[in-house]
Chain A
Amino acid sequence: MPKITNLAELQQLRQQLQRDIKARTDTTTTITVGMGTCGIAAGAREVMHAILAELDRRGILAHVTTVGCIGMCSKEPLVDIQQGNEPRVTYGNVKPDMVPRLIQEHIVEGHVVDEWVVGRVAG
């Protein structure tokens, strides 16, 4: 591996490496994917992989967690996004190809994608 020759390089390396341990770092954004049997059958795993890949591509530090069935099986895969103290927003029938827009608009720009929302819970 290349030697680190100054402080700036060390800091740059740290920023890259931080993403690798983001599960252990505090973040303000949590994305939750419904992974009950219903969710998995509807393709939740593929959606989650798409989320992980998109976050990585953009270098966004966000936690991705899984939960069991919430009871709204017909709308699976369900994806919740919570940022800071904002209300938790639930998106339904999420497909992998919807993920880039979700992340771009909700997380990067801060606009909820209303047309895909199925519910909101105050944070």
Chain B
Amino acid sequence: MAEQYRADVLVSCLHDRAPDLLPALQKEVEQRGLAGEVRVVEAGCRGFCSLGPVLLIEPEGTFYVGVQAADVPELVEETLVKGRVVERLTYREPTTRKRIPRYEDIPFHRQQQRIVLRHCGLINPTSIEEYIAVGGYQALGKVLSEMTPEQVIEEVKKSGLRGRGGAGFPTGRKWEAARKARGDIKYIVVNGDEGDPNCFMDRALMEADPHSILEGAIIAAYAVGAHHGFFYIPFEHTLSVKNVRTAIEQAREYGLLGNDILGSGFDFDVEIRIGAHCFVGGESTAVMAAVEGRASEPRSKYVHTTEKGVYNRPSCLNNVKTLSIVPEIILRGADWYASIGTEKSKGTTVFSLAGKINNVGLVEVPMGITPRELVFDIGGGIPAKRKFKALQIGGPSGGFLPESLMDMPMDYETLDQAGAMMGTGGVIIADDHTCLIDTVKYFLEFLQEESCGKCTPCREGLPIMHAILTRFTKGEGSVADLEVLESLARSIKVTSLCGLGKSAPNPVLSTLRYFRDEYLAHIEQKKCPAGVCKALVTFVINDNCTGCAACVRKCPQNAISGELKQPHTIDQSLCIKCGVCRDTCKFDAISVA
């Protein structure tokens, strides 16, 4: 007899923060004699990472955030035994300060449309049984018993699905090319390297729902005519490797991988290949090089990988997110998928929200959402009542969008035209205390380190751009520098081989386009309006000062003095311009001179 649980406690977004939480929950459930009726499940990431560890208690749908082991006895007693909500653990909406006890009512969740992340945080990723219970492998069954490979390709083409790795190449067309390519041996490559640092959406998917990717990969193999696949994962994603490995083993045991899958006569198996994570490492030809055991460097693509890829055989490479969407398209139909999104960018996309935003985490929304909806509705707005300044999208080599584009529907095309890009969907929010020159400098530092060095413009050009920006932040730049910066950026963009070099100038070009004033302030007025570039900043106390002494206590240099209830002053000779006083002040009494 299957165990009949009345309640499931789904624990997500642990991310090593509370290693004692799960054991404590299990122990408490057992001690209270609830072991046969309440089940504790370690589910994958729910996207609510900033508030983790989070607990979803079903069937009630009660949602707790920031749960620690010390909360367990009260939580079990109140919620699991007596069916009451523990108010203090519920989510508090950042703008209205209202507590929302049910997961479904939280705006962060309510305004999402989850297709890629449909099972994330809802099932145990290490249990193929739970995946099958929610409808897993039904699409594969349908494909193998009812559809020809051509019909599968046609369906995917009709859905308008485009590669979610970043470039947005139509998936159906890629599959078709790989199917038509000559050769008796063909490969499927599953790309689990998102390249973008600290974006972690591919990692979250591999950790939370590996079977959906696997199912998509088997369908792709059937469509393309491949019998062998490589699942490429960077070694840093240890939990991804573990969960994907478990998933592959389970699928083999059930006969969903191997020979004669579901009695169809179709054979396919997949092996894991592990590489080292780097920024270019997610590029398709770099992944294929890594799969072969070589250094992950991109090559020129005048011969398509669908003709000559891994070991010079026709290879079909897809991002993990792309593959996980495929079973849904098969089950719910191409028309359903094509009805979501914009004219040219169909379906949903996953964004990773970070920076100056209240709800940091992963969200999935229909293509065509505006930055305003993303930041203020789903993202919960900017913390500490600061003002929005820019939205950076597309990873370190993406572009910055200004307030004036906040109502632009975002898809592959519009973002490209605006000088940004979809990329893997990394979004960073900058507020009015963020200096964009400094931020661009930071991105260039990253990019020049990650450049593989193959092409001269990228290898030599990025350090020069970085040096110019460094001068700007010190107040040493000139308007002539600005012109050099701009022409350098344009030439790197057109003369580099791979996506890294081609997109690396984006942060510079987009800020020059939308935030030129900020450059000019640094160059001509020798000022940093955001108050970040230390050489250009003087903090002064203005008339708003109430003399509360909050800043006096926080200043690490003891540079602020003054009587209580009398305006304070800053001793400029002691000030190190860290800005702590400004962040502490509740009265906007500290300004940048």
Chain A residues with a Cβ under 8 A of chain B: 1, 3-7, 10-11, 13-14, 16-24, 27, 30, 32, 35-36, 40, 45, 48-49, 52-53, 55-56, 63-68
Contacts and interface: CB of A to CB of B under 8 A. Distances in A.
A36 B78 CA distance: 10
Interface residues of B, number: 41
Contacts of B37: 48-49, 52
Given A24-B8, A68-B84, A10 B137 contact: yes
B145 A17 contact: no
B256 A4 contact: yes
Contact of A23 (B6, B33, B132): B6
A22 B8 CA distance: 9
B133 A3 contact: no
A90 to B, nearest CB: 15
A40 B133 CA distance: 33
Given A4-B254, A67-B82, A20 B129 contact: yes
B574 interface: no
A14 B82 contact: no
B133 A68 contact: no
Nearest to A26: B59
- Give the most central of A10, A11, A30, A64: most B CB within 10 Å: A10
Given A20-B129, A21-B134, A7 B8 contact: no
20 contacts: A4-B255, A7-B141, A7-B142, A13-B132, A17-B132, A17-B133, A18-B133, A20-B129, A21-B123, A23-B7, A23-B58, A35-B83, A45-B33, A52-B6, A56-B2, A63-B59, A65-B6, A65-B59, A66-B6, A68-B84
A101 B134 CA distance: 31
Nearest to A16: B2
B254 A3 contact: yes
A93 to B, nearest CB: 20
Contacts of A35: 81-83
Interface in B83-130: 83-84, 122-123, 129-130
Nearest to A24: B58
Contacts of A6: 141, 145, 262-263
Given A6-B145, A35-B83, A64-B7, 5 more contacts: A18-B133, A19-B2, A21-B133, A24-B123, A36-B82
Contacts of B82: 35-36, 66-68
A51 to B, nearest CB: 8
A40 B144 CA distance: 52
Given A14-B132, A66-B81, A7 B4 contact: no
Given A55-B4, A68-B83, A17 B130 contact: yes
B575 to A, nearest CB: 55
Top 6 A-B pairs, shortest CB-CB distance: A3-B255, A17-B133, A64-B6, A7-B141, A66-B83, A63-B59
Q: Is the interface of A mostly helix, strand, loop or mixed?
A: helix
Given A6-B262, A65-B60, A14 B135 contact: yes
- Give the most central of A24, A64, A65: most B CB within 10 Å: A24
Contacts of A18: 133
B74 to A, nearest CB: 14
Contacts of B33: 45
A6 B255 CA distance: 10
B99 to A, nearest CB: 19
B543 interface: no
Nearest to B252: A3
Contacts of A56: 1-2, 4
B138 interface: yes
B263 A5 contact: yes
Interface string B1-41: 11111111010000000000000000000000100110100
A5 B262 contact: yes
- Give the most central of B3, B5, B6, B122: most A CB within 10 Å: B6
Nearest to B81: A35
Given A10-B138, A14-B138, A66-B82, A5 B2 contact: no
Contacts of B1: 56
A17 B21 CA distance: 27
A46 B58 CA distance: 21
B83 A65 contact: yes
Nearest to B141: A7
B35 to A, nearest CB: 12
A6 B265 CA distance: 11
A57 to B, nearest CB: 8
Nearest to A39: B82
B83 A11 contact: no
Nearest to B10: A24
Nearest to B5: A23
Contacts of B184: none
Contacts of A67: 82-84
A105 B137 CA distance: 37
A5 B260 CA distance: 8
Nearest to A3: B255
B253 interface: yes
- Give the most central of B8, B133, B256: most A CB within 10 Å: B133
A49 B58 CA distance: 18
Nearest to A36: B82
Given A63-B59, A65-B7, A4 B84 contact: no
Nearest to B133: A17
Contact of B122 (A5, A24, A36, A53): A24
Contact of B138 (A11, A24, A49, A52): A11
Contacts of A52: 4, 6, 37
A48 to B, nearest CB: 7
A53 B80 CA distance: 19
Contacts of B8: 21, 23-24
Contacts of B254: 1, 3-4
B534 to A, nearest CB: 52
A122 B86 CA distance: 27
Contacts of B132: 10, 13-14, 17
Contacts of B145: 6-7
A27 B59 CA distance: 9
Contacts of A24: 8, 10, 58-59, 122-123
